[in-house]
Amino acid sequence: MTDLSEPAERPVSAAFSSGPCSKRPGWALSSLQDAPLGRSHRARIGKAKLAEAINLTREILAVPADYRIGIVPASDTGAVEMALWSLLGARGVDIAAWESFGAGWVSDVTKQLKLPDVRVFDAPYGELPDLSRLDFDRDVVFTWNGTTSGVRVPDADFIPAGREGLTICDATSAAFAQNLDFTRLDVVTYSWQKVLGGEGGHGVLILSPRAVERLESYTPAWPLPKIFRLTRGGKLIEGIFTGETINTPSMLCVEDYLDGLKWAKSLGGLPALQARADKNFAVLDDFVQKTPWLENLAQVPETRSNTSVCLVIVDPQIRTLDAGAQAAFARAVVSRLENAGIAYDIGAYRDAPSGLRIWTGATIEAADVQALTLWLDWAFAAEKAALGL
């Protein structure tokens, strides 16, 4: 008979959501006491905070000195949309998509911008498309790390250094946990609510000199909302990239981002953050490799994310159920863990195959992942027993 006793060890933090993600270890609201609340973001103190965030971002991510970094509204989505609406249309576009957000960028380019010369290279959840088919004399849009599929590009070697087009990279669950080769990337976007565990609502937009040149030499055929405008009179609005934001940012959220950046710096910067994410993923992956009822959704080990780990339930008895019942079983496992206070928000993304999605980014502690694995087995066994299997 299966032992359904609850494990004795519990995670200290149950926050395994893939966004907004867990706060850093030791975080407290008092960490934000220096936030200039009730002050204008255009006041000297507000601009200084925003500039500090930009400068620390450059330092920790090792962004080249001639790349611009801007804090923009509407999270990573807002940053990507600004890039698509402001830069595309000058030449043909290739889009690589293998999960929900990449598919969203396909829809934006084909159905909203309605560009006439677009090629889409897609793949089902768990796989990468054939990246060798991309033509970098065209503009190329892709997601570095598929948050909803757990599939990432292993490196930037598929991008030629001598490209003619721009590369636009949604790096929201990769930044601060994976090596982004900025020499191959012209636009990089992310939200600080992912690997650094910041509060939501703000995005970061990083532009190469080639992207700036495009902005200053090309005018899209469509009108741009104010919130998307990066140029004025044919010139880049430099203030956006020095701390003069397009709209009003939350200075509390900016302070929270600064807290995360300073924590990252205290650890040793990007190498330390990546090492933490790699260690967390290794703990979870070791459990998956030894567990017959679970598999990685990402088929190829080299393409498996070290932050947003997507898992599918492959137990033969559960697989005999119809798709709806399999999805219900996965939701029941997730609910059981949430009700026990062990893991919050670890269900698969709504558009993805049913299963689990567990965040293992840098703010997670490896000991918590280890404790979670014990409870995963417990929740799975308890739900099977509830079904009489």
The dihedral region occupied by 126, where left means phi > 0, alpha psi between -120 and 50, and beta the remainder, is left
94 with 140, same domain? yes
Strand partners, 69: 206
79 with 106, same domain? yes
- Whether residue 47 lies inside any domain: the answer is yes
Q: How confident is the model at residue 2, as a pLDDT?
A: 63
Instruction: Indicate the average pLDDT of the chain.
Output: 97
Choosing from 266, 296, 322, the residue where a domain stops is: 266
Query: Which CATH number goes with the domain that contains 198?
Result: 3.40.640.10
pLDDT at 282 over 70: yes
Q: Is residue 273 very low, low, confident or very high in pLDDT (cuts 50, 70, 90)?
A: very high
Q: Mention every residue, 6+ apart, whose C-beta is less than 8 A from residue 389.
A: 317, 318
Choosing from 238, 266, 294, the residue where a domain stops is: 266
Q: At what angle do helices 270-290 and 44-61 cross, to 10 degrees?
A: 60
Percent of all residues in the chain with a pLDDT value above 90, rounded to a whole number: 99
| Residue recorded with tokens 């925003």 | 50
320 with 235, same domain? no
Q: Is residue 162 very low, low, confident or very high in pLDDT (cuts 50, 70, 90)?
A: very high
Cα-Cα-Cα-Cα dihedral sign, residues 194, 195, 198, 203:
negative
- Whether residue 239 lies inside any domain: the answer is yes
- Enclosing domain of residue 293: 269-386
In angstroms, the CA 92 to CA 84 distance is: 13
- Whether residue 179 lies inside any domain: the answer is yes
298 with 332, same domain? yes
196 with 109, same domain? yes
Query: pLDDT by residue (tens digit) across 55-77?
Result: 999 999 999 999 999 999 999 99
297 with 181, same domain? no
Instruction: With 0.95 as the threshold, say if the pTM is over it.
Output: yes
113 with 91, same domain? yes
In angstroms, the CA 326 to CA 331 distance is: 9
Query: pLDDT by residue (tens digit) across 318-345?
Result: 999 999 999 999 999 999 999 999 999 9
Choosing from 266, 290, 323, the residue where a domain stops is: 266
Query: Which CATH number goes with the domain that contains 303?
Result: 3.90.1150.10
Query: Taking the mean position of all CA atoms in its chain, how far away is CA 48?
Result: 27
- Whether residue 134 lies inside any domain: the answer is yes
In angstroms, the CA 376 to CA 378 distance is: 5
259 with 274, same domain? no
55 with 100, same domain? yes
112 with 235, same domain? yes
- Whether residue 301 lies inside any domain: the answer is yes
199 with 274, same domain? no
Query: Taking the mean position of all CA atoms in its chain, how far away is CA 150?
Result: 10
Q: Is residue 1 very low, low, confident or very high in pLDDT (cuts 50, 70, 90)?
A: very low
Phi, psi dihedral angles at 140 (to 5 degrees): -125, 130
Query: pLDDT by residue (tens digit) across 133-145?
Result: 999 999 999 999 9
300 with 281, same domain? yes
In angstroms, the CA 347 to CA 43 distance is: 42
- Whether residue 120 lies inside any domain: the answer is yes
Contact between residue 132 and residue 120 where contact means Cβ atoms under 8 Å apart:
no
- Whether residue 243 lies inside any domain: the answer is yes
Domain count, the chain: 2
Q: Is residue 200 very low, low, confident or very high in pLDDT (cuts 50, 70, 90)?
A: very high
- Whether residue 5 lies inside any domain: the answer is no
